[in-house]
Amino acid sequence: MMIFVMTRLLLLLPALLFSSCATCWRGGEPLRPTELASLHALAKDFSQAKNIKVYHGLAHPKRDQKIYAEQLRTLPHEAFQGFEFHRQPAKVSPELVRAIVDLYCDPTSHQALASPKTTCAGFHPDYALVWSDARGRRVLQICYGCHEWKYFGPGGFLHTDINEPAYDEKITKWLPPLL
């Protein structure tokens, strides 16, 4: 009898482990109500943005340590929210900037932040959209390695995943990854 019970428990173990992991990784989930409310507020703010500049991030400081160190030493750079970017903005048309802003403001281009992520070397933005007004500076960071959006502004912070269609079919084609 004891062997029968132990065998049954062992058969249940994978199901129990799988169900417990469902709470630690949420890939593909839509935004929760609080994230949606934040995104709606940010969309209003974005609609009033003027003179948005797009900046290329420097090399990844963990994955490309030597290149990153060389860039810090030789290139003019500027920090936005803890990450270094080329000081000179990228040449991006106003129409493309508007398309990126519209994509970001579309709730369907977001997913709830999934973690842990094992395919990237840690969040490091490839691009940043930056603008300011009388209330302060805003920064939208876009990380291709993690497939994430990270917004910082006077009203707070929003960190979400970029959904697959927005990532694969739009943003990485509009702003190609730097080699």
The residue assigned the tokens 């730097």 is 178
Residue 48: half-sphere exposure toward Cβ, Cα within 13 Å: 9
pTM of this structure:
0.82
Confidence of residue 1 (pLDDT cuts 50, 70, 90): low
Q: Which residues contact 76 (CB under 8 A, 6 or more apart)?
A: 86, 87, 88
pLDDT on residue 9: 36
Do 42 and 17 contact (CB within 8 A), yes or no?
A: no
DSSP code of 93? -
The encoded tokens of residue 128 equal 């940043």
Q: Which residues contact 130 (CB under 8 A, 6 or more apart)?
A: 52, 53, 54, 55, 80, 137, 138, 139, 140
Do 54 and 128 contact (CB within 8 A), yes or no?
A: yes
Cα separation, 103 vs 100, whole angstroms: 5
Per-residue pLDDT tens digits for 86-138: 999 999 999 999 999 999 999 999 999 987 666 666 788 999 999 999 999 99
**All structural domains of the chain:** 30-174 (3.30.1490)
Confidence of residue 19 (pLDDT cuts 50, 70, 90): very low
Which residue, among 101, 98, 68, has the nearest Cα to 86 in the 3D structure?
Answer: 68
| For residues 29-53, average pLDDT | 91
Do 176 and 126 contact (CB within 8 A), yes or no?
A: no
| For residues 147-176, average pLDDT | 93
